[in-house]
């Protein structure tokens, strides 16, 4: 019987980052995932994710600044220099400023102050009255011009799926073992029981399953599974050439869009201030399109309206079909991206109470991706008992206060239950509006 020093359940951001750091310290590590990496259940299973520095919390700001060194290819303390550099584009971000009375406005200003005064970053931020930023980005010439824009060049995107694969390949060179295509049924003592019937044994077990964590651990009341809406537009070759070098455009009260993917020429658009939950599991479990298409076949019609609104404001040339101008362009590959959510957006990295050796790593997957290079080092410190007290307190195993805590960077109205959604049926080949 093979006994591993650590068995990691889940091969997303937390799982792969942790496996790599443990292996670099000569731990014998096994990673288990229900699918082949990159797992379609991971919140990072995507074309791209924002890598930003903006936090008004000095702890997360410090972690973000540290992680940026690896995305940019400069640092080598936690990973080989340049390992993730080819999975990153330092494209910058255009943010629409919100009303000065909102907590989001205060968050944005506070974040810049922290980064500029404490970390000497984001010194080149500019304010503009329109999206082209004085002609710097002519791709937005036709955009609506009544927003005030903050341009921060010290920001980028990670190529999410590619980065997970890069971390897996590096982990394999360190001797990490992988068991894929096999879900985990339960974790008990030092044993991980898989759907196939196989059992694996670890001196320590780390559960890093994101929105699926509740299926293995008693996390009800601590995390919710929150569904975020994502849609895509297929660009023509000419459209791709025009838009390939745009920055992220981010409106925290409406939605945001990314530079198009270089391989597929697909442009991704996400909504903000709207989300889904599963009422049957009382908000605790995700429902995936890939596993249960009859329950979650697409995204809500109102999310499609929101996506078209984002396009109409910022890239109006993409609203209509390029061949048939009287027809709205299809929004394709619509899906709900499930994240594990805490009420205040802090992670949970801690030992599970009443266990000897089981740890959990989850929390707010919605902002975790940027920490792929470095979060594993702090998980390692936790299981070794050396995690800084401030982080240990912030990431403790705890109940969430869903009624009394506000996440400053989010506009979050009432969420909608999957069971009451009227779905957009993209497979019909024409918009259902």
d(CA 408, CA 345) in angstroms, rounded, equals 10
Same domain? 100 vs 45: no
Q: Which of 8, 108, 104, 87 is nearest to 44 (CA)?
A: 87
Same domain? 238 vs 284: yes
pLDDT tens string 315-363? 999 999 988 878 999 999 999 999 999 988 999 999 999 998 999 999 8
Please give the chain's pLDDT, 433 residues, in tens.
689 999 999 999 999 999 999 999 999 999 999 999 999 999 999 999 999 999 999 999 999 999 999 999 999 999 999 999 999 999 999 999 999 999 999 999 999 999 999 999 999 999 999 999 999 999 999 998 888 999 999 999 999 999 999 999 999 999 999 999 999 999 998 999 999 999 999 999 999 999 999 999 999 889 999 999 999 999 999 999 999 999 999 999 999 999 999 999 999 999 999 999 999 999 999 999 989 999 999 999 999 999 999 999 999 999 999 888 789 999 999 999 999 999 889 999 999 999 989 999 998 778 999 999 999 999 999 999 999 999 999 999 998 888 866 677 677 667 899 999 999 987 544 444 4
Instruction: Provide the number of structural domains found in the chain.
Output: 2
Same domain? 316 vs 386: no
Q: State the alpha helices, DSSP H only, in 181-300.
A: 237-243
Same domain? 180 vs 264: no
pLDDT tens string 38-85? 999 999 999 999 999 999 999 999 999 999 999 999 999 999 999 999
Same domain? 115 vs 216: no
Same domain? 57 vs 203: yes
Same domain? 219 vs 284: no
Q: Which CATH number covers residue 234?
A: 3.30.9.10
d(CA 65, CA 81) in angstroms, rounded, equals 16
- 236: which 2 tokens? 């023509």
Report which DSSP code applies to 220: B
Same domain? 164 vs 43: yes
Q: State the alpha helices, DSSP H only, in 189-299.
A: 237-243
Are 70 and 373 in contact by the 8 Å Cβ rule? The answer is yes
Same domain? 40 vs 81: yes
Q: Which of 338, 349, 344 is nearest to 395 (CA)?
A: 349
Same domain? 244 vs 364: no
Same domain? 144 vs 114: yes
Residues 225, 231, 233: CA angle, nearest 5 degrees: 165
- Measured CA to CA in angstroms, residue 44 lies from 11, 18, 78, 336 at distances of 10, 15, 20, 12
Q: Which CATH number covers residue 42?
A: 3.50.50.60
- Residue 142 C-alpha from the chain's centroid: 30
Same domain? 329 vs 422: yes
Q: Which domain holds residue 134?
A: 93-154+224-341+407-433
Please report how many Cα atoms fall inside a 13 Å half-sphere around the Cα of residue 26, on the Cβ side.
0
């Amino acid at each position: 019987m093979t006994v591993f020093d650590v068995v990691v359940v889940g091969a997303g951001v937390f799982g792969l980052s942790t496996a790599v750091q443990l292996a670099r310290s000569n731990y014998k590590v096994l990673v288990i995932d229900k699918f082949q990496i990159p797992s379609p259940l991971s919140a990072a299973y995507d074309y791209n994710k924002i890598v930003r520095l903006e936090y008004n919390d000095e702890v997360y700001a410090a972690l973000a600044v540290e992680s940026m060194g690896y995305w940019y290819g400069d640092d080598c303390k936690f990973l080989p220099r340049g390992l993730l550099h080819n999975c990153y584009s330092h494209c910058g971000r255009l943010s629409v400023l919100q009303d000065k009375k909102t907590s989001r406005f205060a968050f944005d200003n506070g974040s810049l102050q922290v980064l500029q005064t404490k970390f000497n970053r984001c010194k080149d931020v500019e304010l503009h009255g329109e999206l082209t930023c004085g002609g710097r980005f002519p791709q937005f010439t036709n955009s609506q011009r009544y927003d005030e824009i903050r341009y921060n060049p010290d920001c980028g995107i990670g190529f999410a799926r590619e980065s997970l694969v890069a971390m897996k390949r590096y982990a394999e060179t360190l001797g990490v073992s992988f068991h894929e295509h096999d879900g985990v049924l339960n974790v008990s003592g030092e044993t991980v029981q898989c759907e196939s019937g196989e059992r694996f044994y670890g001196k320590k077990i780390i559960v890093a399953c994101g929105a699926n964590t509740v299926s293995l651990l008693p996390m009800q009341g601590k995390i919710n599974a929150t569904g975020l809406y994502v849609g895509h537009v297929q660009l023509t070759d000419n459209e791709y050439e025009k838009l390939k070098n745009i920055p992220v455009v981010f409106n925290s009260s409406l939605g945001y869009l990314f530079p198009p993917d270089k391989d597929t020429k697909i442009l991704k658009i996400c909504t903000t201030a709207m989300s889904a939950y599963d009422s049957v599991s009382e908000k605790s479990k995700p429902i995936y399109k890939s596993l249960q298409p009859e329950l979650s076949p697409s995204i809500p019609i109102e999310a499609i309206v929101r996506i078209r609104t984002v396009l109409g404001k910022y890239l109006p040339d993409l609203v209509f079909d390029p061949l048939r101008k009287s027809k709205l362009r299809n929004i394709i590959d619509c899906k709900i991206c499930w994240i594990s959510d805490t009420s205040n957006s802090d992670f949970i990295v801690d030992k599970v109470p009443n266990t000897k050796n089981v740890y959990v790593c989850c929390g707010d997957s919605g902002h975790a991706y940027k920490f792929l290079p470095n979060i594993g080092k702090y998980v390692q410190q936790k299981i070794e008992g050396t995690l800084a007290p401030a982080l240990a307190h912030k990431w403790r195993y705890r109940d969430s206060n869903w009624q009394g805590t506000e996440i400053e960077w989010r506009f979050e109205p009432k969420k909608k239950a999957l069971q009451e959604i009227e779905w957009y049926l993209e497979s019909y080949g024409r918009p259902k509006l």
